[in-house]
Amino acid sequence: MIRLLGGTLVAAGAAWMGFRASAALKARARALGEMGEGLALLEQELELDSPPMPLLMDRLILRSRGPAKKLFQDCGRALDRLSEEEFSLAWRRLAGELEELGEEGRQALMPLGEVLGRCSCREERQGVEGVRRRLETLRDRTEEEYRRQGRVYQTLGLSGGAFLVILLM
């Protein structure tokens, strides 16, 4: 009875690992898409109005979701502490904390803090557009990887668990 319970737990654990790896790819693609949407909103706001940075962050918070909303909320709070930390450094730090984007997504987002609030509207829009396109490319690549590898991870988890059960019995 204990062997059966142990085998079931081993199989379930291995299957869970495979399904979790697959879900992580899907979640990263979703996060990259949400960040791209947030940057598209930022680009739109800069094109139409170019409001002061606190007002810009407030508008973006209301209209964005996921990691973009979190970044804009944190940046809005960072604007209140400009005497303690420059906005560009705060942006870099906050973008680096967005684990759900993956390393490449965070690296693509970090340089944008050097442009926002420092350059002309045209240069800001160009910078945002470049980062948005890079994140969209990463999202597309991650979605493709999920389509290719997601089922593989799930199948490996299930078959690996079954193999371990057979090996242990």
pLDDT at 123: 87
Rounded Cα gap, residues 40 and 25, in angstroms: 23
CA neighbours closer than 13 Å in the CB half-sphere of residue 127: 17
Whether the Cβ atoms of residue 4 and residue 154 lie closer than 8 Å to each other: no
- Shortest CA distance to 105 belongs to which of 47, 19, 27? 27
Instruction: Report if residue 2 sits inside a domain.
Output: no
Rounded Cα gap, residues 161 and 128, in angstroms: 45
Domain assignment of residue 98, given as a range: 9-168
Instruction: Report if residue 3 sits inside a domain.
Output: no
pLDDT at 93: 93
pLDDT at 65: 94
pLDDT over 90 (residue 114)? no
0.95 surpassed by pTM: no
Number of domains comprising the chain: 1
Instruction: Report if residue 69 sits inside a domain.
Output: yes
pLDDT over 90 (residue 18)? no
pLDDT at 109: 93
Instruction: Report if residue 71 sits inside a domain.
Output: yes
Reported as type and span, the H/E element at residue 58 is helix 53-63
pLDDT at 122: 84
Number of other residues whose CB lies within 10 A of the CB of residue 37: 18
